[in-house]
Amino acid sequence: MKTISENRAFDGTQGVYSHTSKACDCDMTFGLFLPREARDGPVPVMWFLAGLTCTHENAMVKAGAQQWAAEHGIALVFPDTSPRGEGVADDAAYDLGQGAGFYVNATQAPWAPHYRMWDYVATELPALLADEFPIDPDRQSISGHSMGGHGALTLAMAHPGRYRAVSAFAPICHPTAGDWGRKQLAAYLGPDESGWAPHDATLAMRATGFDGPMLIDTGTADQFIDLLMPEALAEAIAARRQQAVMRLQPGYDHSYFFISSFMEEHVAFHAEALYE
Amino acid sequence: MKTISENRAFDGTQGVYSHTSKACDCDMTFGLFLPREARDGPVPVMWFLAGLTCTHENAMVKAGAQQWAAEHGIALVFPDTSPRGEGVADDAAYDLGQGAGFYVNATQAPWAPHYRMWDYVATELPALLADEFPIDPDRQSISGHSMGGHGALTLAMAHPGRYRAVSAFAPICHPTAGDWGRKQLAAYLGPDESGWAPHDATLAMRATGFDGPMLIDTGTADQFIDLLMPEALAEAIAARRQQAVMRLQPGYDHSYFFISSFMEEHVAFHAEALYE
């Protein structure tokens, strides 16, 4: 593991690190904020998965999460959104290939050799963090934006007992039914749609739900809301009687201005679950 | 109008009054909490509509709303849930007739002469309050529980500009599709279902939505949740991109213990809209 940078932030440290990933078979970069409390021992950790076109950096510099994580004494992890590098397959479109890993393990050519973001986020990176940093693996929670909200919701539901809470900003709620999803799931996982179901938050909610609290914010002026389909997940959450808070925030759009406006409440929501 | 009782409460006054209602053609009783600020001039008002079997008294004595209304300087109105008296039609079932007015204007025998709770709550009682008490008719909001949540949601959507906010505890969300609704709407309004639509929050949301903020709480352990159908309204709210907060509260049931647990947040939500 290599340290790219470390900056003092809110009396803690905002670091950026790279390492050779076995899951993705390439070098991967991630951001990690450690609060002051990490100097004294392991702290709980909140994952934040970013959306299409993002790297580890977008949420790290634009979401305004560190101030609230510092207040609650929790770490923040900002993974990249795909494998990267010269030997890694890509596509000219913004929504496929590098920057658009969709948090799945690809099985199809040319993606299968590197595009294993599901294993990377669920298995490899958590183990690295527990080995290298004062992170308490028994107190994890997860959040994300757009494609990253999709990743957070699907990972949380697929790993009972792992994440104490899940939240999402403008998540892609029903990718098997929309243009933000069908294209990518077909490319990465192939045409057999039976394998897509764990990667659709609405279908996962119908199948199992989540064993903890859930918070979802979507802006009513989100320019991509027809692709996000919050109505499908809202129906599934209520039908399952899933503990949840679903909010439609008036006038907010899909940007990081929306995310940062509600980050304080999301971090407080995670902190309550991480410290209970 | 006759004063039944007045008690000092939270530095304001909890009153109970009766009057002869033209809408219902019988004497009607209601509770009204006036905060201390009402001594100095008109105050905003939050309506609270109660559920099946309730009178004006249940929410007044069990919901714990006065302490928060006092804190925010707003009045609370607790109407009865139906016309009452010896000459008023009734039914042996708990969910039809007296105590079960469903906030509609009945058109069918034997209900039509008295069961006009829609007009009573929307027109007659607001006019009486504005005439007799220091209530500001330009700052009203509405809430309710179960059948009263149904009433609050449908009245709010049918009167654009009237209510600055609407909230509900465990509302009956889709009465045209369930056993808490079809029986009563058929009895009061007759078999032509086209007239039922304004009295179904899910259908009203699909048709028009609400021109303000909305807050809805339902307990995941609500013993009547299959009759409430929160999933239908959740889907409709998200599909309309309606400004809203929908919460499924873990372990809470249908009782006033549930209501009182979240009343502080509901009154604060109303106060924000009433004072903006």
Rg, chain B, Cα only: 17
Q: What are the pLDDT digits (tens) for A227-267? A: 999 999 999 999 999 999 999 999 999 999 999 999 999 99
* Cβ <8 Å between A248 and B236: no
Q: Do A238 and B218 touch (CB under 8 A)?
A: yes
Q: What is the pLDDT of residues B162-202, one digit of tens each?
A: 999 999 999 999 999 999 999 999 999 999 999 999 999 99
What CA–CA distances, in Å, run from B64 to B14, B42, B51, B147, B169?
A: 12, 23, 16, 19, 14
For residue range A181-221, list pLDDT tens digits in order.
Answer: 999 999 999 999 999 999 999 999 999 999 999 999 999 99
pLDDT band at A276 (very low <50, low <70, confident <90, very high): confident
Q: Say if the Cβ atoms of B247 and A244 lie within 8 Å.
A: yes
Report the distance separating Cα B11 and Cα B71, nearest Å: 10
pLDDT tens for A96-150 read 999 999 999 999 999 999 999 999 999 999 999 999 999 999 999 999 999 999 9
- Closest in A232, A241, A248 to B248, CB measured: A241
pLDDT of residue A112: 98
Summarize the confidence of residues B88-114 as an average pLDDT. 97
If you search the block for the tokens 């509900």, which residue do you land on? B168
Question: Do the chains contact at B250 and A238, CB–CB below 8 Å?
Answer: no
As a whole number of angstroms, the distance between CA A83 and CA A97 comes to 8
B92 pLDDT above the threshold of 90: yes
What is the model's pLDDT at position A250? 96
What's the rounded Cα separation, in Å, for the pair B152 and B137? 17
Q: Which residue of B has its CA nearest to A239?
A: B231
Contact B218 A225 (CB under 8 A): no
pTM here is 0.90
Q: Predicted confidence band at B276 (pLDDT cuts at 50, 70, 90)? A: confident
Q: What are the tens digits of pLDDT across the range A38-60?
A: 999 999 999 999 999 999 999 99
Tens-digit pLDDT profile for residues A170-185? 999 999 999 999 999 9
- Mean pLDDT for chain B overall: 97
Does the distance separating the beta carbons of B241 and A238 come in below 8 Å? Answer: no
**Mean predicted confidence (pLDDT) in B106-123:** 98
Q: Which residues of B touch A233 (CB under 8 A)?
A: 238
Looking up tokens 């693996």, which residue turns up?
Answer: A137
Question: Please, where are the H alpha helices in chain B?
Answer: 57-62, 66-72, 117-119, 125-132, 147-158, 182-189, 201-207, 225-228, 230-240, 256-274
- The set of catalytic residues of A is 146, 222, 254
**Cβ–Cβ gap B248/A238 under 8 Å:** yes
Of B218, B220, B234, which has the smallest distance from its Cβ to A235's Cβ? B234
- Structure confidence by residue, pLDDT tens digits, B33-83: 999 999 999 999 999 999 999 999 999 999 999 999 999 999 999 999 999
A177 min Cα distance to partner chain B (Å):
15
Q: Number of CB pairs < 8 Å for A and B? A: 74
Whether the pLDDT of residue A4 is over 90: the answer is yes
A41 in Cβ contact with A133 (< 8 Å)? no
Query: Which of chain B's residues have a Cβ under 8 Å away from the Cβ of A235?
Result: 231-232, 234-235, 238
Q: What is the DSSP letter of A33?
A: E
Kindly provide the ipTM of the predicted complex, given to two decimals.
0.82
Share above pLDDT 90 across residues of chain B, in percent, rounded to a whole number: 100
* Most A CBs within 10 Å, among B231, B240, B276, to test the A interface: B231
In chain B, whose CA is at the least distance from the CA of A245?
A: B247
Q: Which residues of B touch A (CB under 8 A)?
A: 213, 218, 220, 225, 230-239, 241-250
